[in-house]
Amino acid sequence: MLLFDAHLDIALNAVDWNRDMRQEVDDLRAQERALNMTDPGRCGSTLSLPELRKAEIGVFLTTLLARQEKEVNHSFGWTTPETCYAMAHAHLAWYRAMERSGWLRMLKTREDLEKHVREWNSSSATTPLGFILTMEGADPMLTPDTVFEFYEHGLRAIGLTHYGANRYGGGTRCEVGLALNAIPLLKNISDLGMTVDVTHLSDVAFWQALDHFGGRIHASHQNSRRIAGWQRQFSDEQYQAVIQRDGVIGMAFDVIMMQHGYVRGVSKAEALIERAVDNIDIICQLSGNARHVGIGSDLDGGYGVEQTPADLNKISDLQRLTDLLSNRGYPDADIAAIMHGNWLRFFSEVLPSAAAK
């Protein structure tokens, strides 16, 4: 079944981690083992472009991710806004190179999306992988007006923050609110008709963002605090706020968001893929239907197979969700909505028409 994944960091893997994403996953793992790489996430990739095709992920959101940090002590992170801006353009250049070689196709308009899905359903073996460009953390925005430049490059979704606080507000593991610069940025996003990804906002920044932004919102990879009880996840009230704004929420497969008390580098992954179905149940119960939940796997988002569910080896294992959902009593129409239909509907409404663009 066609799978729409609403959160992948593919350029991070290709540019920052210097992986040849055209290769098979097993080859990427073997090459890093041969180099004796020991950083978290190395030697354990779960995806590549061929693996996405095997997983039937014909459409996905993929990021420009360049996080500003005062102290850079890991494999991605940059010390100035200007460097973040430059790295976002490096990611963009990689996507464009993959378009030129026929691996990828950027989807900028609703007509692009509709045409791509028709082509994929007709000939998935030869159709390029389709992607919608998003930005995880607004650090590359030199000023609130920089969003207009990135929009012209194809950006159609944006999250203001990532981990910690940045020039636009508070993110995961902090409780800083929105920064003053966020207000004009949100206005510009609204004027452009883009969607705001409310994933990674601190609790206080989340509610402030909803107060200041009246446009479309979604949560690309956002699990429940009932499943893993720390601030990275959403409370029921936050889920309900996204649902009330007709947003969609993506299920993430980083086990730190699926297993209560998991400590990176210390705990053993014990949660299974089925834990995501538990989370899907929560959202469907809160909304009274299956309209507001999808997949946003976040696989290989700075970690590897050492931090995925115990029964997930590669991203193609996400196709097991169809049977797991069926076993829970979900009808075929709801399974299709969760696997791709909800995100397709959402972005067919959010993306501009070709005439408007």
Q: Give the CATH number for residue 152.
A: 3.20.20.140
Tokens 């007006």 locate to 145
Q: Would residue 30 count as lying in a domain?
A: yes
Supply 139's token pair: 């650090």
What is the distance in angstroms between the CA of the first residue and the CA of the last residue of the chain?
A: 31
Residue-wise pLDDT for 188-241, tens only, equals 999 999 999 999 999 999 999 999 999 999 999 999 999 999 999 999 999 999
Q: Would residue 355 count as lying in a domain?
A: no
Instruction: State the pLDDT at residue 170.
Output: 97
Q: Would residue 357 count as lying in a domain?
A: no
Is 140 in a helix, a strand, or coil?
Answer: coil
CA-closest candidate to residue 343, choices 290, 298, 301: 290
Tokens 């593991």 locate to 173
With 70 as the cut, is the pLDDT of residue 243 above it? yes
Let me know the angle formed at the C-alpha of 327 by 249 and 305, rounded to the nearest 5 degrees.
Answer: 60
Supply 213's token pair: 């932004």
The pTM assigned to this predicted structure is 0.97
Measured in degrees and rounded to the nearest 5, phi and psi for residue 319 equal -65, -15
Residue-wise pLDDT for 280-301, tens only, equals 999 999 999 999 999 999 999 9
With 80 as the cut, is the pLDDT of residue 71 above it? no
d(CA 332, CA 325): 9
Instruction: State the pLDDT at residue 357.
Output: 62
User: Residue 22, Cα to own-chain centre: how many angstroms?
Assistant: 20
Instruction: State the pLDDT at residue 73.
Output: 64
What confidence category does residue 3 fall into, taking pLDDT thresholds of 50, 70 and 90?
A: very high
With 70 as the cut, is the pLDDT of residue 328 above it? yes
Structural domains counted in the chain:
1
With 70 as the cut, is the pLDDT of residue 65 above it? yes
Average pLDDT, the chain: 97
- Give the CA count within 13 Å in the CB-facing half-sphere of 107: 25
Supply 50's token pair: 């061929």
CA-closest candidate to residue 117, choices 54, 59, 50, 53: 59
Instruction: State the pLDDT at residue 356.
Output: 76
User: Residue 234, Cα to own-chain centre: how many angstroms?
Assistant: 15
Residue-wise pLDDT for 338-354, tens only, equals 999 999 999 999 999 99
Instruction: State the pLDDT at residue 224.
Output: 98
CA-closest candidate to residue 279, choices 321, 223, 234: 223
Q: Would residue 144 count as lying in a domain?
A: yes
d(CA 72, CA 46): 25
Q: Would residue 356 count as lying in a domain?
A: no
Residue-wise pLDDT for 110-138, tens only, equals 999 999 999 999 999 999 999 999 999 99
The residue segments making up the domain with residue 289 are: 4-350
Instruction: State the pLDDT at residue 77.
Output: 82
Beta bridge mates, 61: 132
Measured in degrees and rounded to the nearest 5, phi and psi for residue 135 equal -125, 125
Which residues lie below 8 Å from residue 148, measured CB to CB, with a gap of 6+? 188, 192
Q: Which helix (H) or strand (E) holds 235?
A: none
d(CA 68, CA 98): 26
d(CA 164, CA 73): 14
Q: Would residue 89 count as lying in a domain?
A: yes
d(CA 213, CA 336): 30
